[in-house]
Chain A
Amino acid sequence: MGTLVEEIFSRKAGREVHAGEIVLLDVDYIMSHDNTTPLAIKAFREIGKPIADKDKLVIHFDHAYPAPNLLAAEAQKKALDFIKEQGLTHFYHQGVCHQVMIEEGFVRPGAVIIGADSHTNTYGALGAFASGYGSTEIGVAWVAGKTWFKVPPTILVELEGSARPGVYSKDVMLYLAGLLGMDGATYRSVEFAGSYIQSLSMQARIVFSNFSTEIGAKCGLIAPDAVTVDFLEHETKAAPPYDLVQPVNPTYERIVRVNVAEIEPQVACHPDVDHVKPLSEVAGLPIDEVFIGTCTNGRYEDLEIAARMLKGRRVAPYTRTIVTPASALIYKKALENGLIQVFMDAGCTIGVVGCGACIGRHGGLLAPGERAFTTMNRNFIGRMGSPEAEIYLGSPAAVAAAAIEGKIVDPRPYLEAPYA
């Protein structure tokens, strides 16, 4: 009996556990990437014991891949040597770690997954417990195959109603970030529920779990349903049967209710994720770079929204517009369905699959004084390059409209009248 996180942990523990308890649990998978694997290797070597179960390790090269400089190249070579030495088989370099984790079928409802990346929360959209940890802890989990968890209390976010046309899950999540604040859910599990969540595709749901990190949450969960099953069956390698774990007579620490019909397109303004305003308040702000991609909004549906608006149009001449599909699978589908052609005809630059410009190491850095409008999840100072640049966050539609006009504008007129 309990909230979704309590139910997931109780199954793993083999007894009923509740918020506040500390439990030692088996983890299903331990994720790390090119940025965080080297430090985990260091902790692993120091412990001096073998890996408990090599099948649990999943390593991705995505943050700065292919290596943009010598330092990254050396770090990746060391990590690769380790992968070969240990004979690890779950090694990927075909896109953003979180997207590939889902596509490759590592994420299933009820699973417990830890990752050396703060946005590991992403997998919560499929009803898995997933959270980010420090590198040392990842090295420890390699050896132990388990780790300790403090069962978190839960905030229920109930989203009711239908969003207006042109308002996407990203707008709703940005609105929530503004409402709850950057530390609004620290230590907490956030359960996203309500008729609005139920009406969304999995791709749109993932935005909520992914962004839950930005409000301090330990995890951001959505109870699995028919949409989850359909997605797992058709868009991932995770084969049935699925354990559709649900909250049972849950006790929530807090309940937040929002009628999404009242939400306008939103923008998170420089330099904090909770510095959120209705888009209309920042309309007209000139934009030097538009970046469509990342684990937040670099999925096929996101590209489709942008392509629909860019079809038959050109991006503004001085607005660098970069489209980076989150994974190779998405890239391929976008290619097959003509989306890439649309982007290229519009004057966009197509990036290499992976994190791209998101962490300011390659794929579209910002110069001092530049301003980006992107589909990312973070706008911290210096995130995309110069600390004197500004980052604004929005939905795929909002940033595509900015690409066309070179400034922040309401995307809705473009959606209403797509080029015929």
Chain B
Amino acid sequence: MPRAWKFGENLNTDEIIPARYNITIEPKELARNVFCEIRPDYAQSVHPGDMVVGGPNFGCGSSREHAPIAIKGSGAACVIAPSFARIFFRNAINIGLPILECPEAAAEIADGDELAVSLGDGKITDLTSGKTYQAQPLPAFVLQIAEAGGIVNFLKTHTIEDLV
């Protein structure tokens, strides 16, 4: 079962992936060091489909795209937070990392809780506590970008009009 990895507020892009590791944009390579300073066990123990649960203003700091790429490369299925920093929000969508804004879920889900998330309708279920939450559903076009593995890949076989 996918589990929650919980992080605090104002998590900046340097805490997601320190600048010294940004010498590559290879997702798997970046994923080896994702959260290495604040959560050293993450990269070792994360399972594909696990979810990152953060605090307000997730991904603040620089505009670098390495941060969402690193999280996606780790196999995380999505990031749930009350709010995201503006450029992180866009970068995440464009590189194909689904993100869900849901203040209640982000506050109440505990580290290690088992989660089930339906990206299409934004439903988040905490199987450990038995609670359900409703995040703003992801628009269909964001899901399409995610399925293609990011906007650059999407555009190789589609035009941007295919998004809407």
Residues of A within 8 A of B (CB): 22, 24, 43, 46-49, 118, 132-134, 136-137, 139-140, 143-148, 150, 183, 186-187, 216, 218
Q: Given that A22-B139, A24-B164 are contacting pairs, would A136 and B83 also be in contact in the complex, using a CB cutoff of 8 Å?
A: no
Given known pairs A46-B152, A186-B83, the reply for A118 and B159 (CB within 8 Å) is: no
Residues of A within 8 A of B89 (CB): 150, 187
B52 within 8 A of A: no
User: Which B residues are CB-close (under 8 A) to A132?
Assistant: 63, 87
- Taking a contact as CB atoms under 8 Å apart, the answer to whether A140 and B91 are in contact is no
Binding site for A on B (CB under 8 A): 57, 60, 63, 65, 83, 85-87, 89-91, 94-95, 139, 141-142, 151-152, 155-156, 159-161, 163-164
Closest residue to B56 on the A side, CB-wise? A183
Q: Is the CB of A144 within 8 A of B155?
A: yes
Determine whether the beta carbon of B159 is less than 8 Å from that of A144: yes
Given A134-B87, A146-B160: A118 touches B155 (CB 8 Å cut-off): no
By DSSP majority rule, is chain A's interface helix, strand, loop, or mixed? mixed
Most buried by B among A48, A136, A187: A136
Point out the residues of chain B lying under 8 angstroms from A146, CB to CB.
160
Is the Cβ of A148 less than 8 Å from the Cβ of B141? yes
Say yes or no: B86 contacts A186, CB within 8 Å. yes
Residues of the B chain whose Cβ atoms lie less than 8 Å from the Cβ of A187: 83, 86, 89
The 7 closest A-B pairs by CB, nearest first: A144-B160, A47-B155, A24-B164, A22-B139, A46-B152, A140-B151, A134-B63
User: In the complex, which of the residues A136, A144, A145, A183 contacts B65, with contact meaning CB atoms closer than 8 Å?
Assistant: A136
| A47: B residues at CB distance < 8 A | 152, 155-156
Collect the chain A residues with CB atoms within 8 Å of residue B87's CB.
132-134
A sample of 17 cross-chain residue pairs with beta-carbon separation below 8 angstroms, ordered by A number, consists of A22-B141, A24-B141, A24-B160, A24-B161, A24-B163, A24-B164, A43-B152, A46-B156, A133-B90, A134-B90, A137-B94, A139-B152, A140-B94, A140-B155, A144-B160, A146-B160, A183-B60
Cα of A134 to Cα of B164 in the assembled complex, Å:
22
